[in-house]
Structure 1
Amino acid sequence: MKKTLTIIHTNDLHGNYEQLLRQSAYIKNRISELKAQNESYLLLDGGDHLDMSINECLATNGDMHLDMLADVGYHAMSVGNNELLRSTPALIRELSLKSKVPWLLLNLVENDGNIIGGMKESLLVTLTNDVKVGLFGATDQFGNVYENKHDFRNRDTVTSIKKTVADLKQKGADIIVFLSHLGYDADVKIAKEVSGLVDVIVGAHTHTVLESPVEESGVIIVQAGSYGQYVGELRLILDIENSSNKIEGYEGNLSEIKLESDIDPSMEAILEKGRMETNEFLSEVLTVKDTPLLHKDVIQLMAEAVRDHWNAEIGLMYGGAAVAGLQSGNVTKGDVLNICKSMHSPVLIELKGEQILGLIKDSYKEEVSSKLVYGNGFRPHGIPIGSLAFSGINWDYQDGVLSNVTVNRERLKEEKVYKIGTGTPMLYDEVCGYSSVKGNKLLDVGKTEMVKDVFISFLKKTNRELNPV
């Protein structure tokens, strides 16, 4: 007996609330249509629904997003890097425990091997037509980033998938759906390794717009762009009695969500409540400035902030850490967060004096400072890395000649190793474009805060020192 299943899928919202208001209205309407036709469906999200660079998400600690996901009625979601990388381990555990929508993740666990918080390795869903769907999720591990930053432990992705699929099939799963936050190229590659085990990959992470499904090695791959611009739909025709090929046919498409589309009133109410909390959160006064701060002044203060944070010899900050300056008068948390969108961790590194000289020289070169950077936590994408600001270093620079370089009033020594507080982009020359950072030694990384958090704390600290109670 043939049966049908419609998979409705979204991914990589990144807190685009204006689109979400319309996307959720579309999804709810489409689900109503399917129910009226007695059609079975699954509603799935590929992760990066949260985005801590968005004020509402940050101010509500992601709780607003849990309400949003539950309100739409998702069956499950994969766990993206924005659910993981931009949150503390404690918050990750808390959110996954509170979420009414299961968070699926099998290739990252606690250091002791236990599941993180309330996450699940897999999920078996029995639909209204009695089809049993096995679900699991995996995320881009970014090498050993989560092991270093959160003290989590990586699991081999393919090995974990094979083990989980075997378990799901033993429990009676008719078809297997993989919620992947690995990216499209990785999905195509992994499809070849899990052929015959996985039926469908619902993708995410690379924001790939797949107008129609792609089939690789018998595995159907779909992905619905990003930022709430699309809703994906994959309709499967199933012959669950056929042990060799249970998917007899399929068709899929993306529906574009336009600004003139209808708005979901219940989602609008959730957003309004979140924005009220956000306004209170953002209104906190950090300090008072008599004169405006130019962009370069902000970057200089950020260099001083990371130096102070690590008690380092030198502070170093890149122009792309902020997008503008600050007005005079009260400087609020909202003012800082509106110009510091990037989500970089503070790091303590070691560089030799000769490397520092190279950084100073390169900072004067437009071809270096104008490098556009994407990903790696930069917001907005495509912002120039910018010139560097240093704290603890002084020098003379005239007609392209660098001289009289001192570190804390002592002459810089080229072979001496210096401790430098900065942000994660300066760990990688291929990211920041400053070749002199190659060969740096990472000493420590901020595991519970970002560079902008360090800057906010610094402003509050210096304000207290200038204005003691």
Structure 2
Amino acid sequence: MNLAETVVHIFHTNDLHSHFEQWPKITAFLKEKRAFYELKHEDTLYVDLGDHVDRSHPLTEGTVGKANIALLNDIGVNAVTIGNNEGITLSYRQLSSLYDDANFPILVANIIDKTGERPRWTKQYEIIELSSGFKIGLIGVTAPFYHFYEQLGWTIENPFDTLSELVKTVKEQVDYVVLLSHLGLPQDEKLAESFDDIDLIIGAHTHHLLKDGKKLRRTYIAQAGKWGSHVGHVQLTLDLKRRQVTHVFIETHPMNEKQSIDIETAVKIHELKKHSEQHLNEPIIILPEPLQAAWFEESDATIVLAEGLKEWCGTELSMLNAGILLEGLPQGIITKKDIHRICPHPVNPCKLRIRGDQLKETIERAHTRELRELELKGFGFRGKVLGKMIFSGIEVDLKKMASGDEQVTEIKVLGKPLNLHEQYELATLDMFTFGKLYPALYESEYKTYYMPEFIRDILTWKLKSR
């Protein structure tokens, strides 16, 4: 390498989802790499692409994400963007204060607060000047879950609209533009096709592991899987005379059993867990008798939750899967930790309007073996299996089939036969309205999401009101 050339290394993580067991490995790896490249007089940067926070983990739940920020501070992250787990599983107040102690910039170019301004805790972009004088511009964008952000008090912009002028603004000030994207690979690919001035997209959200990255037109794309399984590494060779990047090398490093751990970080996580426990051990109710739960049959716990769900949403009908409760509750004092343990999912209540024939289709699909035994991953579900569908206000007569499916022979709604042409209001789980699990629920045009309450909050409320 001649004197007019140098190298910068950009390390990145995404979608940790509070898998803190991986964090001591990630910390040790980054410390090792920083020390190695410092000896070679090569700059290093580290960025996180969001969904670091996940309230299904008790440490995150007990500290409302503050433990995640403390760990990012300690590791020396240069910049982050947010994912949907930061953006729409926290209340307006909680997200507004999440980064109060952060000593790094939070880059979210496409979010606006209640006042119509950019939130005080965000920046649209950050310019980093390397030791060589070469300037890299970092821009952050997150997935536009429009209705959810609006429900919480935020306005989220279409990232393509936001970037149309912003990329030009940043490009005029820097030598190289990097987009920190929590949009998902398909959207990153569209961005690469649409923006000539974005040199590198470091992505997240869809959990793709791009071991060697990919290139579309002139833009490189990197993404490093999920749950801290890998750390991504983008190596840029810089021509300082022409102020250009002449070579891009992308790789991912597995954080497996061969990777050493950082003892200080492991101790820090242990201390943070003790602090979290103090909050989660708060008593909330005394149960006079155990509350049993089961995944493949009706149980006291799921019936209570189904009743609470329809009451909370103001409907006469509700539907939820038994697997939403991982286990039951014992007799005696019940704490926040107990409720979180049995219902850790960041899943919200939802009310929707559905026609009778669509409700029939949904109920029939719910009773297939495929859906009952589905080990769902994603959509906020953090359980093992969907399990039996539980109803309140709806009676379903079944005939067991040799295939393991259950044939629906009769459906009654509030004691009357289901009317295929009537409109019904149904309380259910928001995850059933995503994707194609239940097409009729997904396609319903009339949906109300109740936020920031999770299903576990409804369970707590119902138990307290009994």
Normalised by the length of structure 2, the TM-score is 0.88
Q: Which amino acid aligns with 2:53?
A: L
Q: Which amino acid aligns with 1:178?
A: L
Instruction: Give the Cα–Cα distance (whole angstroms) in 2 for the partners of residues 102 and 319 of structure 1.
Output: 41
Alignment of 1:447-462 (within 5 A): 447-462=451-466
Match of 1:29 in 2: 32
Match of 2:428 in 1: 422
* Residue range with higher mean Cα deviation, 65-74 or 332-341: 332-341
Match of 1:230 in 2: 230
Q: Which amino acid aligns with 1:256?
A: P
SS at match of 2:235: strand
Q: Does 1:90 pair with 2:93?
A: yes
Unaligned runs of 5+ in 2: 401-406
1:358 is displaced (CA, Å) by 4.6
SS at match of 1:210: coil
Share of identical aligned residues, percent? 25
* Residue range with higher mean Cα deviation, 264-273 or 2-11: 264-273
1:122 is displaced (CA, Å) by 0.4
Match for 1:68 among 68, 71, 85?
71
1:417 is displaced (CA, Å) by 3.3
For 1:48-89, what per-residue CA distance to the aligned partner results, in whole angstroms no more than 9, with x for missing partners? 111111111011011111110010001101211111121112
Match of 1:466 in 2: none
Match for 1:128 among 128, 131, 139?
131
Alignment of 1:131-210 (within 5 A): 131-142=134-145, 144-170=146-172, 172-195=173-196, 197-210=197-210
Q: Which amino acid aligns with 1:427?
A: T
Match for 1:307 among 299, 310, 316?
310
Q: Which amino acid aligns with 1:426?
A: F
Q: 1:164 to 1:97 in 2, by over 3 A?
A: farther
Is the contact between residue 293 and residue 328 of structure 1 (CA under 8 Å) also seen in structure 2?
no
1:340 is displaced (CA, Å) by 1.7
For 1:77-132, what per-residue CA distance to the aligned partner results, in whole angstroms no more than 9, with x for missing partners? 12111111211122112114442221111123236542134111001111222221
1:194 is displaced (CA, Å) by 1.4
Q: Which amino acid aligns with 1:306?
A: L
Q: 1:439 to 1:238 in 2, by over 3 A?
A: closer
1:359 is displaced (CA, Å) by 4.3
Backbone CA RMSD of aligned residues: 2.6
Is the contact between residue 69 and residue 99 of structure 2 (CA under 8 Å) also seen in structure 1?
no
Instruction: Give the Cα–Cα distance (whole angstroms) in 2 for the partners of residues 83 and 314 of structure 1.
Output: 31
For 1:383-442, what per-residue CA distance to the aligned partner results, in whole angstroms no more than 9, with x for missing partners? 4433221223446556856458351x66765544333322113335x5433x55465453
Is the contact between residue 204 and residue 223 of structure 2 (CA under 8 Å) also seen in structure 1?
yes
Match for 1:55 among 45, 53, 58?
58
For 1:208-230, what per-residue CA distance to the aligned partner results, in whole angstroms no more than 9, with x for missing partners? 22222322211122222221222
Match of 2:268 in 1: 270
Q: Does 1:432 pair with 2:437?
A: yes
Q: 1:427 to 1:185 in 2, by over 3 A?
A: closer
Q: 1:333 to 1:235 in 2, by over 3 A?
A: same
Q: Does 1:446 pair with 2:450?
A: yes
SS at match of 2:446: strand
Instruction: Give the Cα–Cα distance (whole angstroms) in 1 for the partners of residues 11 and 411 of structure 2.
Output: 64
1:27 is displaced (CA, Å) by 0.6
Is the contact between residue 396 and residue 408 of structure 2 (CA under 8 Å) also seen in structure 1?
no
Is the contact between residue 97 and residue 117 of structure 1 (CA under 8 Å) also seen in structure 2?
no
Instruction: Give the Cα–Cα distance (whole angstroms) in 1 for the partners of residues 417 and 46 of structure 2.
Output: 63
Match of 2:259 in 1: 261
Instruction: Give the Cα–Cα distance (whole angstroms) in 2 for the partners of residues 264 and 379 of structure 1.
Output: 28
Is the contact between residue 185 and residue 208 of structure 2 (CA under 8 Å) also seen in structure 1?
yes
1:42 is displaced (CA, Å) by 1.2
* Residue range with higher mean Cα deviation, 310-319 or 389-398: 389-398
Q: 1:395 to 1:247 in 2, by over 3 A?
A: closer
Instruction: Give the Cα–Cα distance (whole angstroms) in 1 for the partners of residues 441 and 357 of structure 2.
Output: 10
1:165 is displaced (CA, Å) by 2.4
Q: Which amino acid aligns with 2:433?
A: L
Instruction: Give the Cα–Cα distance (whole angstroms) in 2 for the partners of residues 162 and 265 of structure 1.
Output: 45
1:372 is displaced (CA, Å) by 4.5
For 1:200-245, what per-residue CA distance to the aligned partner results, in whole angstroms no more than 9, with x for missing partners? 11121222222223222111222222212222222211124436xx
Is the contact between residue 144 and residue 158 of structure 2 (CA under 8 Å) also seen in structure 1?
no
Instruction: Give the Cα–Cα distance (whole angstroms) in 1 for the partners of residues 214 and 365 of structure 2.
Output: 45
Is the contact between residue 209 and residue 225 of structure 1 (CA under 8 Å) also seen in structure 2?
yes
Is the contact between residue 9 and residue 43 of structure 1 (CA under 8 Å) also seen in structure 2?
yes
Instruction: Give the Cα–Cα distance (whole angstroms) in 1 for the partners of residues 364 and 158 of structure 2.
Output: 43
Instruction: Give the Cα–Cα distance (whole angstroms) in 2 for the partners of residues 132 and 109 of structure 1.
Output: 27
For 1:339-382, what per-residue CA distance to the aligned partner results, in whole angstroms no more than 9, with x for missing partners? 323221111222344544554444443244334433221214xx
Q: Does 1:293 pair with 2:292?
A: yes
Is the contact between residue 137 and residue 170 of structure 2 (CA under 8 Å) also seen in structure 1?
yes
Unaligned runs of 5+ in 1: 463-469
Q: Which amino acid aligns with 2:337?
A: G
1:135 is displaced (CA, Å) by 0.6
Q: 1:175 to 1:347 in 2, by over 3 A?
A: same
Is the contact between residue 287 and residue 459 of structure 1 (CA under 8 Å) also seen in structure 2?
no
1:265 is displaced (CA, Å) by 3.0
Q: 1:262 to 1:293 in 2, by over 3 A?
A: same
SS at match of 1:103: coil
